């Protein structure tokens, strides 16, 4: 891995950053608070080819990888426009369908995901399962050639702006009594699917939902890959999910530190800029160091994933953990640097607090990452 990005990467960063700045954080806040969607930015990103950089050229993508997709997510976020559905639609769903889908499924979905014409949501979390995927209770049973889906999913993002949902369901039980999982594509207008909004205290255009599947009937071609192979398939999407979450945390850190540094250079108290004082400067410098360390781990994780290296899982978890911690610290210090202005909507910092704080909990909590590292990296006994 060469730590110097290529000219193509630099050009991609510049192009995405330019697009992000043309909308800006004001657009993000306005759409969020009005109840609107970031549709214009999403479509513009798709028209520029940014949403499908990780998808194969034969299906309308850019033919690159998750490394390039995390560049897109980071640069849009650094411009003040974190697009949560980038973590879900092209990263999770696009990666899974590209790896395990049939030619017909790839043709049907990948082109539309790449252009932004379609958005796909992802449903794995349940009220009583949480991080224990083996305990998933949503069931897809066979009825002739069809599947009939029943169960509940919880905290599912962006269902109101998606055309379909990639659902993780139990289709059997193994010899240890654990669920055999399968992935099915469910249209968001399917008969028997009910969507209930979960109110959350977060400034974001993307909403969260509880989903109720009441005997939703699906044709056999809704199945992605092989029945019962869902857990392996899921991890093809979950490593990119962690990497993309990290990229967004890195973007928020960069955005916040840029705002804080600008403010600290211009704001004068007792005749000198407040950035003169080490009490202001040193915490920002420390936040910068930790943010750059998180970016390095994120880039390493993306590179390992694209190389098919088995260490990608460990690196993706570490990157997500590091970026969530560094991003939260950077944003908090930026708010502190602004004093009372840090909570003002005008200064565009507190409006990102909910999105940044969420990253310490989702898509996987910091505690579960520590469990993973303790068990898989250090060889310690498992507590579960």
Residues 116 and 66: their CA atoms lie apart, in Å, by 17
> What is the phi/psi pair of residue 38, to 5°?
-85, 40
Question: Taking the CA atoms of the chain, what radius of gyration do you get in angstroms?
Answer: 21
Helix intervals (H) in the chain: 7-34, 39-47, 66-78, 85-86, 94-100, 103-115, 230-266, 278-306, 312-337, 353-358, 366-372
> What is the phi/psi pair of residue 179, to 5°?
-70, 135
237 three-state secondary structure = helix
> What is the phi/psi pair of residue 171, to 5°?
-120, 10
Residues classed as catalytic: 241
**Residues 320 and 243 sit within 8 Å (Cβ to Cβ):** yes
Residues 360 and 356: their CA atoms lie apart, in Å, by 8
Residues 14 and 12: their CA atoms lie apart, in Å, by 5
Lookup: tokens for 245:
């979450």
**Residues 77 and 116 sit within 8 Å (Cβ to Cβ):** no
126 alpha carbon, distance to own chain's centre: 18
Place of tokens 């991890």: 235
**Residues 86 and 145 sit within 8 Å (Cβ to Cβ):** no
Work out the burial of residue 328: count CB atoms within 10 Å of its CB; fewer than 13 is exposed, 13-18 middle, 19 or more buried.
buried
Residues 188 and 158: their CA atoms lie apart, in Å, by 11
């Amino acid at each position: 891995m060469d730590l110097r990005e290529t000219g193509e990467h630099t050009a991609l960063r510049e192009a995405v950053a330019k697009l992000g700045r043309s909308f800006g954080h004001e657009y993000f806040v306005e759409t969020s608070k009005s109840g609107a969607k970031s549709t214009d930015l999403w479509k513009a990103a798709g028209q520029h080819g940014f949403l499908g950089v990780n998808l194969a050229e034969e299906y309308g993508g850019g033919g690159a990888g998750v490394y390039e997709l995390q560049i897109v997510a980071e640069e849009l976020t650094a411009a003040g426009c974190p697009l949560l559905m980038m973590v879900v639609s092209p990263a999770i769903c696009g990666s899974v369908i590209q790896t395990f889908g049939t030619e017909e499924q790839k043709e049907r979905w990948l082109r539309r995901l790449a252009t932004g014409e379609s958005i796909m949501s992802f449903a794995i979390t349940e009220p009583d399962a949480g991080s224990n995927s083996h305990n998933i209770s949503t069931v897809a049973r066979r009825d002739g050639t069809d599947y009939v889906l029943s169960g509940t999913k919880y905290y599912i993002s962006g269902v109101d702006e998606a055309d379909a949902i990639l659902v993780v369901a139990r289709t059997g039980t193994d010899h240890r009594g654990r669920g055999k999982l399968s992935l099915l594509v469910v249209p968001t207008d399917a008969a028997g699917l009910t969507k209930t909004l979960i109110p959350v205290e977060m400034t974001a255009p993307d909403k969260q939902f509880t989903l109720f599947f009441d005997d939703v009937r699906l044709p056999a071609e809704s199945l992605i890959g092989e029945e019962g192979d869902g857990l392996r398939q899921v991890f093809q999407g979950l490593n990119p999910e962690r990497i993309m979450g990290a990229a967004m945390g890195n973007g928020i850190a960069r955005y916040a530190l840029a705002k804080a540094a600008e403010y600290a250079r211009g704001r004068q108290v007792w005749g000198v800029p407040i950035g003169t004082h080490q009490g202001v400067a040193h915490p920002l410098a420390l936040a910068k160091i930790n943010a750059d360390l998180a970016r390095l781990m994120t880039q390493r994780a993306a590179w390992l994933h694209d190389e098919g290296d088995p260490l990608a899982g460990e690196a993706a978890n570490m990157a997500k953990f590091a970026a969530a911690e560094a991003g939260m610290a950077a944003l908090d210090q930026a708010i502190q640097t602004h004093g009372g202005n840090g909570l003002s909507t005008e200064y565009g910092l507190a409006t990102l607090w909910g999105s940044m704080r969420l990253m310490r909990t989702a898509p996987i909590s910091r505690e579960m990452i520590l469990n993973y590292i303790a068990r898989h990296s250090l060889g310690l006994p498992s507590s579960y």
